[in-house]
Amino acid sequence: MRDPKIIVALDYPDAAGALDLVVQLEPALCRLKVGMELFTAAGPRLVEQLMQRGFEIFLDLKFHDIPNTVAQACKAAAALGVWMVNVHALGGRRMMEVAREGLSAYPRAPRLIAVTVLTSMSQEDLTGLGMKDSPADLVLRLAKLAQDSGMDGVVCSAQEAALLRRQCGDKFCLVTPGIRLANGVADDQSRVMTPRIAMEQGADYLVIGRPVTRAADPLQALNEMIRQAGDRV
């Protein structure tokens, strides 16, 4: 059974832009991520259209609310048929546990993961929030909480992947944004890494946006990502 390791982030303001890109990609090579901007603009209908084209969808809405509200949102995502959905670990143990319980009735429930620390956040950003932890320490603390709360894995920077792999084990899923080609630019990400190193550090899935979506030839850029990631993909 195929298990593409690259997730292309559809960071578009509307369905038209996303669909223009998707027709240039192949489901056998990647999955797709639909985030807040696109989902707010285009809604479940776009997700259904993407799945009809053969793509599996990571619904990246970072649910963070009272436990029952988050559980109901996760159930709605399961009913939609997405492959993966996420919550924010800062919502706490009870919120994550109730989200897990909400998916228990679905025989083909989506993978449920938690966001730890956004890859755009630096030490300075955390200090400004009154947090004394380093990004790596906070990521580890939240990842362990997520694992104890029944999450399948976490979203983390590839820079923390090796640490989490050691501390959380081989079965804990690590989804890593902030992936750039070896000759690429960081854009607005503070903690970035190349595909090959990210996989070597223990990442399971690589979230890649602009290096593919803004490329002159998106399929060629995707294949280059796969080449750089090596035989792990």
DSSP 8-state class, residue 109? P
Active site residue 60: yes
Q: Any residues with CB less than 8 A from the CB of 36 and at least 6 apart, and which?
A: 60, 61, 62
Q: Which residues pair with 154 in a beta bridge?
A: 114, 174
Burial class of residue 54 (count of CB atoms within 10 Å of its CB; 0-12, 13-18, 19+): exposed
Say whether 88 counts as a known binding-site residue. no
User: Is 62 labeled as catalytic in the residue annotation?
Assistant: yes
CA distance 87 to 95: 9
Catalytic residue among 3, 5, 20, 62: 62
The answer to whether 40 is a known ligand-binding residue is: no
Pairing of strands 205-208, 111-115: unpaired
Q: Is 213 annotated as a binding residue?
A: no
58 is in an annotated binding site: no
Q: Which of 65, 125, 133, 137 is catalytic?
A: 65
Report whether 119 belongs to an annotated binding site: yes
Residue 69 marked in a binding site: yes
Residue 26: both structure tokens together? 């192949």
Closest by alpha carbon to 223, among 49, 1, 4, 48? Answer: 4
Is 189 known as a binding-site position? yes
Q: Which string of b and e fits 188-223 if b means at least 16 CB within 10 Å?
A: ebbbbbbbbbbbbbbbbbbbbbbbbbebeebeebbe
On whether 53 is known to bind a ligand per the annotation, the reply is no
**Catalytic annotation, pick one of 14, 20, 60, 125:** 60
* Residue 81, annotated as binding a ligand: no
Rounded to 5°, the CA angle 152-201-59 comes to 35
Question: Is 5 annotated among the ligand-binding residues?
Answer: no
- Does 201 carry a binding-site annotation? no
For the annotated binding site for substrate, the residues are 11, 33, 60-69, 119, 180, 189, 209-210
As annotated, the binding site includes 11, 33, 60-69, 119, 180, 189, 209-210
Report, as residue numbers or ranges, the catalytic residues: 60, 62, 65
